[in-house]
Structure 1
Amino acid sequence: MANPVSSLIDSAVRATAPVVDGITDDQLTGPTPCAGFDVQALLNHLFHIVTNFQKLAAREPADLATVAEYLDEGDWRSRFREEGARLAKAWAAPGAEEGISPAMGLPQRSLAAMVLGDLLVHGWDLARATGQEYTPDTATVEEVAPELEKIVPMGRNAGVFGEAVPAPAGATRFERLLGDTGRDTGWSPS
């Protein structure tokens, strides 16, 4: 990734935050393209990733296994933007992108790609599940996609991603990335 990770994260948060803002309370129990997650569970997962990857940027211990109920705390829609801004700031700190994560044993840049993948892919999942548009920044997708493509097999082996779904002819780079992570770009909640 040639651009600073923090600017890519900021771009991904700016694409995903309007989707989070647009989710109504009555949509929280609806299905998503992410198997096993309804909208509320996927929002909790995304909050969990965003808050814990702030810690990983600072090389602090993070608990990725225990997902809390983040939507019980006040205005979660506004809080998503705030946590997203904190995430970008954490990754802007000097040295955040360098070296190996003591918590995960992976390069920090790989962790940055993971959180970017979560923001982009789950942003699409949530938009699809709630009937909204989702248009991530093309330059961000182009820059992040090669890094994500490297870690998708590891994620698939860990059960994080489903089997790849072939993208349709003429698919965009983002649609191909969605297919690589097990998403059917034609999915709808009905």
Structure 2
Amino acid sequence: MIPETSISDRYRARADAFEAKVAHVRADQWDNPSPCAKWTARGVVDHVIDMHGVMLGVAIPRTDDPLTDFREARRQIEEALSSDRARSEVSTPLGPMTLEDHIDRVVSDDLVLHGWDLARATGQDETIPPADVARLWATATAVPPELMERFRTPGAFGPGIEVYGEEVAVPDDAPLQDRLLGYVGRDPMSKSS
């Protein structure tokens, strides 16, 4: 076992927040539309679980309970982050990096953005922690334009994978959370479900 890193801590905090949102979805809300046009609230959670499996090269076992399934996906990621495997090199669309860095840049960040999607779809608190907003804004706006075009192209990284949607215009003086959401293809001004 290797010592925990800030990546592990960040993942754990974000997974706690996402899991709490999943736990608060009422049975009658799973089919609510989400800000991700092709997905319902359940589809958002399914996508997050699927991406956890993609990071690890496994299929996460499924039940009829999204909360149980997310907890299993989370368990597997936390197990990988606490092992020597975390420092192993993996191939990614952005080039080689450690597994823990890939988890940090993909599924950990996904927990934040898709947590907002789930909250919007189910009428929960949509506030993203300011530190996460600032970190994701810096990361997203640092992507070179040619790569951002690829990020916005559905399927560019594999079937069913869409990193960002088309940018949604948000006023320059809007809160940074709204500007981040617009930049990655969400409409923060649309009404909650």
Does the alignment reach a TM-score above 0.5?
yes
| SS in structure 1 of the partner of residue 171 of structure 2 | coil
Residue of structure 2 in register with 1:58 after alignment: none
1:79 Cα shift? Answer: 4.2
The count of aligned residue pairs is 175
Query: Is 2:104 the counterpart of 1:112?
Result: yes
Of 74, 99, 102, which residue of structure 2 is paired with 1:84?
74
The whole-number CA distance in structure 2 between the counterparts of 1:174 and 1:98 is 33
The 1:87/1:41 distance shift into structure 2, 3 A limit, reads: same
Aligned-pair Cα RMSD in Å: 2.9
* 1:58-97 mapped onto 2 (5 Å cutoff): 61-62=57-58, 70=62, 73=63, 75-94=65-84, 96=86
The answer to whether the 8 Å contact 2:21/2:115 transfers is yes
The answer to whether the 8 Å contact 1:116/1:144 transfers is no
1:178 Cα shift? Answer: 1.4
1:144 Cα shift? Answer: 4.2
* 1:14-93 mapped onto 2 (5 Å cutoff): 14-53=16-55, 55=56, 61-62=57-58, 70=62, 73=63, 75-93=65-83
1:43 Cα shift? Answer: 1.6
1:189 Cα shift? Answer: 5.0
The whole-number CA distance in structure 1 between the counterparts of 2:48 and 2:92 is 19
Of 152, 161, 166, which residue of structure 2 is paired with 1:163?
166
Range 106-115 or range 10-19, more displaced: 106-115
The whole-number CA distance in structure 2 between the counterparts of 1:92 and 1:140 is 22
Consecutive unaligned residues in structure 1, runs of 5 or more: 56-60
* Percent sequence identity over aligned pairs: 29
The answer to whether the 8 Å contact 2:34/2:118 transfers is yes
The whole-number CA distance in structure 1 between the counterparts of 2:172 and 2:29 is 32
The answer to whether the 8 Å contact 1:28/1:39 transfers is yes
Residue of structure 1 in register with 2:159 after alignment: none
TM-score (structure 2 length as normaliser): 0.73
1:138 Cα shift? Answer: 2.4
The 1:179/1:98 distance shift into structure 2, 3 A limit, reads: farther
* 1:146-185 mapped onto 2 (5 Å cutoff): 146-151=138-143, 153=148, 154-157=150-153, 158=156, 159-185=162-188
The answer to whether the 8 Å contact 1:8/1:140 transfers is no
The answer to whether the 8 Å contact 1:141/1:173 transfers is yes
Q: Deviations over 1:37-91 (max 9, x none)?
A: 11222221111112332x1xxxxx357xxxx894xx1543244245324423423
TM-score (structure 1 length as normaliser): 0.74
The answer to whether the 8 Å contact 1:21/1:77 transfers is yes
The answer to whether the 8 Å contact 2:181/2:188 transfers is yes
Residue of structure 1 in register with 2:128 after alignment: 136
The one-letter amino acid paired with 2:135 is E
| SS in structure 2 of the partner of residue 29 of structure 1 | coil
The answer to whether the 8 Å contact 1:12/1:140 transfers is no
The whole-number CA distance in structure 2 between the counterparts of 1:90 and 1:148 is 26
